[in-house]
């Protein structure tokens, strides 16, 4: 195991700008940040793509300011990775009168934003598998090839939420040469101290014997109330439910099985990229002690651990989502250190 030169003291909390920030030093940075061009103008352009994982078609979606033009410089890519119970719509939700699309927001910051539906989710192909974390890694391998072909970028930034963070982290372990900066939101390492995972473990035998589980409107609505009512708007969860239920009321069990029986699936000493860990103050899955232990074992000195106040498990659709946007943008556009 590679030990960190900058262990995080149990009570080391830097308070600032309304955020609890647990930050590592800058020593040992091996991958300089690529600054997004925030001066890029124009309307937000979007397009659909398809990747193939063997015979499985995987739906992909892209947003950026302005359509791509021949000969123009490439923009930094930010790839959004969805979690267990929702599709990639969670990153591009259209809510009347309010901005809830993280893809729109980061496109305006100058990023070339991509996402995908994993196998057995959304518009992607249906198989007899359970779409576990290992399957998600293979999905990302196929998707990254499409991104590279379209953008010319061989290293891209990843932002995953919940089990999407596990997918992104597991991919970064096996393809470190393709992973630039990593944002792990609502991440869990070993799952220790998680009341939500302890409750889910009661259904472990079901997850082992069934590859699909029921996911109805009430389950989606519970995202706003499960950890701390008031941290997400229930009306927004209804909009999300409208977007999700078009794909049916069944969702894969693979990531639930991994998170209740197979953790850890991401090993910090094998994650070589810069990492931002994001946790909502009231998250019932991502326990602070579990995340601190993971953070302290990351080998790259370019790392941050941020606790977002007034936020629960879902940071992407939180009432305080602007805090998530702010710290993520700051991390992704960090200047290259002068001394390392």
Over 80: is that where the pLDDT of 313 sits?
A: yes
CB-based contact 251:85 (threshold 8 Å): yes
Distances (CA, A) of 155 to 34, 87, 149, 176, 254: 10, 24, 12, 9, 28
In 3D, which of 185, 187, 335 has the Cα closest to residue 268? Answer: 187
Contacts 24+ apart (CB under 8 A), 6-10: 6/301, 7/296, 8/292, 8/295, 8/296, 8/305, 10/292
Question: Residue 81 belongs to what H/E stretch?
Answer: strand 77-81
Chain segment 116-143, per-residue pLDDT in tens: 999 999 999 999 999 999 999 999 999 9
What per-residue confidence (pLDDT) applies to 337? 81
Interatomic CA distance for residues 280 and 231, integer angstroms: 9
CB-based contact 91:63 (threshold 8 Å): no
Mean pLDDT of 214-238: 95
In CATH terms, is domain 14-332 a member of 3.90.800.10? no
User: Residue 270, by phi and psi: left (phi above 0), alpha (psi -120 to 50) or beta?
Assistant: alpha
Mean pLDDT of 298-304: 97
CB-based contact 253:207 (threshold 8 Å): yes
What is the average pLDDT score of the chain? Answer: 90
In this prediction, residue 41 has a pLDDT band, given cuts at 50, 70 and 90, of: low
CB-based contact 115:91 (threshold 8 Å): yes
Mean pLDDT of 43-58: 98
In percent, the amount of the chain with pLDDT more than 90 equals 85
């Amino acid at each position: 195991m590679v030990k960190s030169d900058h262990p995080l003291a149990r009570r080391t909390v830097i308070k600032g700008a309304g955020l609890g920030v647990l930050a590592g030093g800058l020593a040992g940075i091996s991958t300089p940040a690529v600054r997004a061009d925030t001066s890029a103008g124009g309307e937000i352009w979007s397009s659909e793509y398809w990747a193939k994982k063997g015979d499985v078609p995987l739906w992909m979606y892209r947003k950026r300011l302005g359509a791509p033009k021949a000969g123009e410089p490439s923009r930094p890519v930010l790839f959004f990775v969805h979690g267990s119970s929702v599709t990639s719509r969670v990153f591009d939700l259209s809510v009347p009168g309010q901005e809830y699309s993280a893809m729109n927001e980061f496109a305006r910051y100058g990023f070339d934003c991509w996402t995908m539906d994993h196998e057995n989710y959304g518009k992607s192909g249906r198989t007899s598998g359970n779409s576990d974390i290992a399957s998600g890694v293979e999905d990302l391998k196929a998707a990254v090839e499409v991104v590279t072909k379209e953008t010319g970028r061989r290293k891209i930034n990843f932002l995953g939420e919940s089990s999407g963070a596990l997918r992104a982290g597991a991919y970064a372990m096996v393809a470190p040469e393709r992973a630039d900066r990593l944002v792990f939101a609502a991440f869990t390492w070993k799952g220790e101290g998680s009341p939500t995972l302890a409750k889910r473990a009661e259904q472990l035998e079901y997850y082992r014997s069934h590859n699909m589980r029921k996911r109805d409107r009430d389950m989606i609505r519970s995202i706003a109330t499960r950890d701390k009512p008031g941290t997400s708007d229930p009306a927004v969860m209804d909009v999300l439910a409208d977007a999700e239920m078009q794909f049916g009321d069944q969702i894969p069990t693979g990531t639930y099985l991994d998170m209740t029986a197979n953790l850890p699936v991401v090993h910090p000493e094998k994650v070589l990229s810069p990492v931002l860990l994001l946790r909502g103050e009231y998250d019932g899955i991502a326990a602070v002690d579990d995340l601190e232990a993971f953070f302290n074992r990351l080998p790259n000195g370019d790392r941050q651990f941020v606790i977002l106040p007034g936020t629960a498990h879902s940071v992407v659709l939180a009432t305080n989502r602007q805090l998530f946007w702010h710290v993520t943008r700051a991390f992704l556009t960090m200047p290259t250190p002068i001394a390392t």
